[in-house]
């Protein structure tokens, strides 16, 4: 037990020392504006190097992913109905579906499901 603890402490110490040495020795110089800007044959760039990101698309993708997971969680409800007590199954299914409906209502109320501006 003591040997394991000593070896793990030594590994942690060596790892931290290597990270500290890396941070001190490989410190990069502060780059100026010209070095950090994209290079286009010596001219100033005509457009932004990054493609604009649509936050609305990301929000719709996340909502779709959540609804997809909800469907995957609802699929085993019917086969488990035969294996469990009816009152317990009914109660858990109702609570689960009501939670989903409340989440959908909240998203709808916040305007996250509107496609057009």
Domain-embedded: residue 98: yes
Under a CB-based contact definition with an 8 Å cutoff, are residues 36 and 45 in contact? no
How far, in Å, CA of 8 to CA of 72, rounded? 42
18-32 pLDDT tens trace: 999 888 887 665 555
Strand partners, 40: 43
Q: How far is CA 53 from CA 56, 57, 64, 79, in A?
A: 9, 8, 18, 42
Closest residue by Cα to residue 73 from 92, 91, 57: 92
Domain-embedded: residue 80: yes
Query: How many domains would you assign to the chain?
Result: 1
69-116 pLDDT tens trace: 888 888 888 888 888 899 998 999 999 989 988 988 988 898 877 766
| Domain that includes residue 62, residue range | 55-110
Domain-embedded: residue 101: yes
Domain-embedded: residue 96: yes
pTM of the model as a whole: 0.47
Domain-embedded: residue 73: yes
Domain-embedded: residue 83: yes
100: which residues sit within 8 A by CB, 6+ positions away? 70
Under a CB-based contact definition with an 8 Å cutoff, are residues 70 and 100 in contact? yes
């Amino acid at each position: 037990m003591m040997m394991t603890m000593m070896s793990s402490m030594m590994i942690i110490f060596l790892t931290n020392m290597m990270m500290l040495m890396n941070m001190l020795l490989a410190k990069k110089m502060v780059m100026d504006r010209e070095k950090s800007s994209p290079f286009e044959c010596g001219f100033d760039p005509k457009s932004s190097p990054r493609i604009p990101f649509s936050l609305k698309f990301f929000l719709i993708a996340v909502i779709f992913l959540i609804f997809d997971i909800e469907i995957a969680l609802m699929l085993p409800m019917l086969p488990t109905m035969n294996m469990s007590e009816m009152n317990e199954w009914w109660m858990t299914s109702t609570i689960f579906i009501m939670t989903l409906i409340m989440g959908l209502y909240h998203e709808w109320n916040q305007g996250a499901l509107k496609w057009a501006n």
